[in-house]
């Protein structure tokens, strides 16, 4: 399951099909239930709470069943793979080419494992992801079966076999979680509420979810981008489903010069930027970058069209090392693919502060659709994002061209 060349890929695929198959023969005997009577082992994972959001790490009961109970719970194919560590033949899994938005959960216990935003086409014949939905939810164990050195992945709640993880994946993680379709169940984005679980009340103080405190890491996130006039950038991102607010402002300079008159001189170090507040359960950081690079020219230094000056630069202001790495890898991929024909000059800068612009700049496209600059520059960008990203925009345009 780790091809390094096309020939090796084919050979290894045939080998694994012979060794395992959808109905693997000679599989290891099923695990025995050795849990002492009356005890309830616990595991720390992330689950979907009653509010339909992914929780912080919480302690939940481990799912421990007898072999007979597992056979009654699972289909024969699922039992062979999940409990006997089988492998389905390459290119036959039902979820291999699934691209719908949603979450992939364990087929045995419904623990959230992966989401669409981390799925990619690896060409190996099995569903592949570059990261799990939560590190706590996927266990990794050494696997030396069949004379190979691999790393097995298991569900953290029921310890069912999922597949393997390799270090030949894409940026930013460099990992490829190679999964069996039979080990997963796909839940569409609009059905995530069905995954809600009642969190045990006896949680440690540090992990007990609170109804009065939002888990910001999962309910809301922010990104600050620059790509020319902030009216245009704001107008584009207001169209996206999952974006709750887009605020025009200034980033890169000092508080004293964070005003339109000063920024227009091009000497303040500020860029006309937009703070985008979004729900990462609906739209990912990477998807926002994809939209940004599709709706402005990242190859022109300090200029977008006829708007010229340092305030019109292309920039990503990162708030964490993880964001920097993701953005850097994203740009590297675009340059490697020669998408634009010229090198990308987008700046990567740490976000020191964001200063909202004057009130009259906010929601400018929505409030001034007939203004000549909006008609000629901003609205074509709005039309472009709604055309290119039909599955990511809100049902109705925020502003109608």
pLDDT in tens, the chain (401 residues): 444 444 334 344 434 443 333 333 333 444 444 444 455 789 999 999 877 788 888 998 999 999 999 999 999 999 999 999 999 999 999 999 999 999 999 999 999 999 999 999 999 999 999 999 999 999 999 999 888 999 999 999 999 999 999 999 998 888 999 999 999 999 999 898 889 887 765 555 444 443 333 344 457 899 999 999 999 999 999 999 999 999 999 999 999 999 999 999 999 999 999 999 999 888 999 999 999 999 999 999 999 999 999 999 999 999 998 899 999 998 998 998 888 989 999 999 999 999 999 999 999 999 999 999 999 999 999 999 999 999 899 988 876 44
From the list 106, 109, 158, 229, the catalytic residue is 229
Q: For residues 290 and 284, what is the distance between their CA atoms, to the nearest angstrom?
A: 10
Q: CATH topology for 219-388?
A: 3.30.1060
Q: CATH topology for 18-195?
A: 2.170.150
| 232 included as an active-site residue | no
Mention every residue, 6+ apart, whose C-beta is less than 8 A from residue 71.
79
| 155 included as an active-site residue | no
SS (H, E, C) the chain: CCCCCHHHHHHHHHHHHHHCCCCCCCCCCCCCCCCCCCCCCEEEECCECCCCCECCCEEEECCCCCHHHHHHHCCHHHHHHHHCCCCCCCCCCCCCCCCCCEEEEECCCCCEEEEHHHEECCCCCCCEECCCCCHHHEEEEEECHHHCCEEEEEECCCCCEEEEEECCCCCCCCCEEEECHHHEEEEEHHHHHHHCCCCCCCCCCCCCCCCCCCCHHHHCEEEEEEECCHHHHHHHHCCECCEEEEEEEEECCCHHHCCHHHHCCCCCCCEEEEEEEECCCCCCHHHHHHHHHHCCCCCCCCEECCEECHHHCEEEEECCHHHHHHHHHHHHHHHHCCCCCCCCCCEEEECCCEEECCHHHCCHHHHCCCCHHHHHHHHHHHHHHHHHCCCCECCCCCCCC
Predicted pLDDT at 32: 42
From the list 178, 232, 264, 313, the catalytic residue is 178
Q: Where do you find CATH 2.170.150.20 in the chain?
A: 18-195
> What are 126-139's pLDDT values in tens digits?
999 999 999 999 99
Predicted pLDDT at 220: 86
Q: State the CB neighbour count (10 A cutoff) for residue 41.
A: 10
> What are 202-218's pLDDT values in tens digits?
555 444 443 333 344 45
Q: Where do you find CATH 3.30.1060.10 in the chain?
A: 219-388
Q: Residue 332: name the closest of 171, 120, 169, 129 by CA.
A: 171
Predicted pLDDT at 124: 94
């Amino acid at each position: 399951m780790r091809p390094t060349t096309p020939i090796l890929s084919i050979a290894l695929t045939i080998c694994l099909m012979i060794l395992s198959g959808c109905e693997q023969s000679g599989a290891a005997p099923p695990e025995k239930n050795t849990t002492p009577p009356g005890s309830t082992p616990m595991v720390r994972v992330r689950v979907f709470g009653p509010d339909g959001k992914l929780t912080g790490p919480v302690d939940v009961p481990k799912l421990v069943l007898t072999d007979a109970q597992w056979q009654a719970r699972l289909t024969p194919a699922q039992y062979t793979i999940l409990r006997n560590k089988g492998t389905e033949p390459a290119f036959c899994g039902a979820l291999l080419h699934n691209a719908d938005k949603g979450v992939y959960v364990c087929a045995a216990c419904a623990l959230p494992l992966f989401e669409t935003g981390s799925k990619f086409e690896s060409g190996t014949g099995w569903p592949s992801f570059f990261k799990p939905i939560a590190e706590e939810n996927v266990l990794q164990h050494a696997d030396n079966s069949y004379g190979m050195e691999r790393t097995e992945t298991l569900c953290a709640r029921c310890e069912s076999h999922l597949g393997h993880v390799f270090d030949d994946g894409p940026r930013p993680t460099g990992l490829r979680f190679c999964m069996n379709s039979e080990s997963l169940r796909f839940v569409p984005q609009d059905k995530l509420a069905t995954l809600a679980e009642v969190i045990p009340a006896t949680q440690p103080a540090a992990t007990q979810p609170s109804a009065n405190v939002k888990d910001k890491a999962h309910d809301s996130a922010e990104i600050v981008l620059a790509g020319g006039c902030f009216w245009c950038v704001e107008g584009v991102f207001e169209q996206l489903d999952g974006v709750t607010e887009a605020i025009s402002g200034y980033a890169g300079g000092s508080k004293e010069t964070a005003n339109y008159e000063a920024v227009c001189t091009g000497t303040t170090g500020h860029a006309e930027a937009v703070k985008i507040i979004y729900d990462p359960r609906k739209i990912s950081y990477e998807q926002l970058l994809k939209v940004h690079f599709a709706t402005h020219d990242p190859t022109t230094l300090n200029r977008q069209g006829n708007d010229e000056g340092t305030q019109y630069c292309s920039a990503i202001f990162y708030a964490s090392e993880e964001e920097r790495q993701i953005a850097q890898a994203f740009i590297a991929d675009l340059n490697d693919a020669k998408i634009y024909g010229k090198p990308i000059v987008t700046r990567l800068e740490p976000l020191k502060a964001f200063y909202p612009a004057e009130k009259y700049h906010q929601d400018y496209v929505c409030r001034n659709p007939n203004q000549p600059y909006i008609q000629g520059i901003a609205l074509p960008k709005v039309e472009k994002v709604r055309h290119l990203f039909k599955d990511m925009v809100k049902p109705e345009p925020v502003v109608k061209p």
